[in-house]
């Protein structure tokens, strides 16, 4: 099964229906040539959108590692859509603390750093990584306007924003924000009740879903909640058509079943697991199966 392209928002960009995340690429311990081969392999099967952030990885950053791979075959740039994020400032000296900064100078500096590291002229999408409680939406709108005009960024979105933060920023912009990238998995269901998916659905904007596998915790931890959840996932896996459905595929299908149609971001560096994620696009959970996973994760039934 290969992946089709979908529109993220009215006037928004086209993404592949699942996205490859590059947060963990520093842990993959690969050469630039090996990173390039992995990139080419997932592009070949249709996963053309990649997710980065200014703060991913340290010395070298994930964007630098990715840029080194791209430099080996610059023709790949035109076959992919690159998302990156700004707004988190990590500091290393003891007298200061990590903080958020979405002032125009911080956003612009972050974009210029990302472009330099990646060795590209323009980001397809820039997201504000986390809501900055000091954000001045009028100045962000102005900054987005100049980044768009200069050609450094094509589209803008947000990540981890509440519905009201999303609406507030959107109210100052001429073009729709193209996504809100949020955590979605049965161990973190806040977005199903806090309205952040509803406002996207209302505006026909696709969410991006991070950590659909709860960062791998479902496989590596054995808390009471995870044992209960895993049993339900295994049971549902055996009920789905095709006898080789795995629990990671059930988890992807669970997140993607939400009516706002989240676009899953794959966190694995294994091409077999990328293929498994793609194959989960064809899985359809029944209403009861979806809620069985909800009940197992919560430890109580629906009210
Ligand atoms: N906007 C935000 O605030 C935010 C926050 C976090 C992440 N993100 C984005 O979302 C992407 C995905 O997040 P994530 O990495 O947390 O995703 P995830 O899919 O929940 O977790 C990936 C981890 O699970 C492991 N894994 C996958 N399948 C497994 C299996 N069958 N058995 C055992 N382990 C398995 C992977 O290891 P292997 O590599 O060995 O397969 C990897 O370590 C990131 O790359 C990043 O782009 C965004």
**Cβ distance 125 to 144 under 8 Å?**
no
Q: Do residues 185 and 251 touch, judged by C-beta distance below 8 A?
A: yes
Supply φ then ψ for residue 92, to 5 degrees: -105, -15
Of 150, 66, 68, 70, which Cα lies nearest the Cα of 107? 150
Looking from the CA of residue 24, the nearest atom of ligand 1 is: 45
Q: Is the pTM of this model over 0.75?
A: yes
Mutation probe of ligand 1 site: the residue of 188, 211, 219 with most atoms within 8 A of C-beta: 211
Check pLDDT > 90 for residue 302: yes
The values of phi and psi at residue 6, to 5°, are -135, 155
Question: Is the distance from CB of 179 to CB of 208 less than 8 angstroms?
Answer: yes
* Ligand 1 mean position, distance from CA 214 (Å): 7
The verdict on whether 100 is a catalytic residue reads no
Ligand 1 environment, Cβ below 6 A: 21-24, 51, 159-160, 181, 210-216, 219, 248, 265, 267-270, 273
Residue with tokens 């690429």: 25
Contact yes or no for 283/253 (Cβ under 8 A): yes
Residue 56 CA to ligand 1 centre (angstroms): 13
Q: Cis check for the bond before 177: say yes or no (omega within 30 of 0).
A: no
Residue 77 in this model has a pLDDT that exceeds 90: yes
Cα separation of 82 and 90, whole Å? 22
At 172, give phi and psi (nearest 5°).
-100, 0
The answer on pLDDT for 290 being more than 90 is yes
pLDDT digits (tens, 9 = 90+) for 34-50: 999 999 999 999 999 99
- Of residues 156, 137, 123, the one with CA closest to residue 12: 156
Q: Is the pLDDT of residue 243 over 70?
A: no
Catalytic residue among 22, 56, 166, 252: 56
213: alpha, beta or left, given left = phi > 0 and alpha = psi -120 to 50? alpha
* E strand segments, the chain: 5-7, 14-16, 19-21, 49-51, 81-86, 88-89, 99-100, 123-128, 153-159, 180-183, 208-210, 263-266
**What is the CA(272)–ligand 1 centre distance, in A?**
14
Section 168-173 average pLDDT: 98
Give the pLDDT band (50/70/90) at residue 294: very high
Q: Separation of 248 CA from ligand 1 center, angstroms?
A: 11
**Can you tell me the mean pLDDT for 241-256?**
92
Show the DSSP H helices in 14-162 as ranges.
Answer: 32-44, 62-72, 104-118, 137-149
H-state helical runs in 96-246 = 104-118, 137-149, 163-170, 196-202, 217-220, 224-239
Is residue 216 a contact partner of residue 185, using CB atoms and an 8 Å limit? no
Residue nearest atom 32 of ligand 1, based on CA coordinates: 219
Top CATH class of 5-178 equals alpha beta
How far is 23 from 165, CA to CA, in rounded Å? 25
Q: What is the pLDDT of residue 241?
A: 76
């Amino acid at each position: 099964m290969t992946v089709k392209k979908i529109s993220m928002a009215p006037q928004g960009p086209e993404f592949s229906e699942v996205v490859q995340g590059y947060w963990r690429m520093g842990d993959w311990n690969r050469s630039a040539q090996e990173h390039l081969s992995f990139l080419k392999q997932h592009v070949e099967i249709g996963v053309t959108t990649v997710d980065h952030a200014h703060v991913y990885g340290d010395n070298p950053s994930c964007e630098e590692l990715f840029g080194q791979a791209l430099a080996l075959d610059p023709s790949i740039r035109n076959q992919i859509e690159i998302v990156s994020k700004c707004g988190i400032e990590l500091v290393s000296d003891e007298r200061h603390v990590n903080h958020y900064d979405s002032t125009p100078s911080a956003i612009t500096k972050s974009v210029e750093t990302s472009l330099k590291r990646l060795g590209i002229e323009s980001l397809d999408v820039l997201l504000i990584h986390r809501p900055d409680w000091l954000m001045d939406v009028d100045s962000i709108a102005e900054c987005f306007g100049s980044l768009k005009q200069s050609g450094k960024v094509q589209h803008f979105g947000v990540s981890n924003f509440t519905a009201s933060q999303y609406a507030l920023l959107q109210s100052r912009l001429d073009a729709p924000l193209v996504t809100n990238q949020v955590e979605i998995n049965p161990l973190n269901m806040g977005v199903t009740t806090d309205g952040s998916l509803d406002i996207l659905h209302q505006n026909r904007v696709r969410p991006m879903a991070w950590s659909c596998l709860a960062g791998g915790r479902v496989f590596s931890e054995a808390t009471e909640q995870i044992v209960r959840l895993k049993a339900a996932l295994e049971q549902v896996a055996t009920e789905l058509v095709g006898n080789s459905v795995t629990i990671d595929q059930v988890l992807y299908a669970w997140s993607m079943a939400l009516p706002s149609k989240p676009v899953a971001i794959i966190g694995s560096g294994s091409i077999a697991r990328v293929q498994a994620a793609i194959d989960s696009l064809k899985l359809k959970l029944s209403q009861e199966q979806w809620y069985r996973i909800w009940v197992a994760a919560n430890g109580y039934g629906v009210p």
